[in-house]
Amino acid sequence: MLALAPMGQLEPSSGKIDFTKGEIEVGKWIDGKTIYKSVIDSTVGELQNDLNAIGIDYVVDMYGMALSNYGNWFPIPCKNIASIDYNDADHYTISILQSNLSARNFQITFGDYYATTNKAYIVVEYTKKGV
């Protein structure tokens, strides 16, 4: 039988919570590269540009919130599966993908219930290109 060690208090990978804007080092990735964390205070329409401007090589984790057109805050990422009408299920969906592997361009897609001027906050942990 497998014995599990008792868990202590859960802590973020860096051992502390720091949501200051700008880039900070928070650990090492499996390939030895430094993991950085940035907090981006932006809009739905600019988040993609903000991510690509950082020079991200690999997204380790991301989370945040985006304001919908109806005044609701939804998590990033988000997949709305609660809708009874499955044709409307993607209206609130938010996802990220690496749109071009060689160029390391990232694309954040928002459902149509988010205007490009809506407020958004994202915390992204990543490794950087060429570092």
Summarised one tens digit per residue, pLDDT across range 7-50 is: 444 444 545 566 666 789 999 999 999 999 999 999 999 988 88
In this structure, what token pair is assigned to residue 40?
Answer: 């981006």
The kind and range of the H/E element at 53 are: helix 47-54
Return the higher-pLDDT residue of 4 and 20: 20
Contacts of 55 (CB under 8 A, 6+ apart): 104, 128, 129, 130
Q: Which of 13-17, 47-51, 72-76, 115-119 has the highest mean pLDDT?
A: 115-119
pLDDT at 55: 87
Whether the Cβ atoms of residue 54 and residue 126 lie closer than 8 Å to each other: yes
Three-state DSSP at 70 gives coil
pLDDT at 103: 75
Mean model confidence pLDDT for the chain? 80
Look up residue 25 and give its amino acid: E
Give pairs for 32-35: CB < 8 Å, separation 24+.
33/57, 33/58, 33/127, 33/128, 33/131, 34/127, 34/128, 34/131, 35/60, 35/125, 35/126, 35/127
**Cα 79 from Cα 34, distance rounded (Å):** 30
Contacts of 94 (CB under 8 A, 6+ apart): 66, 74, 75, 76, 77, 78, 108, 109, 110, 111, 114
Whether the Cβ atoms of residue 57 and residue 104 lie closer than 8 Å to each other: yes
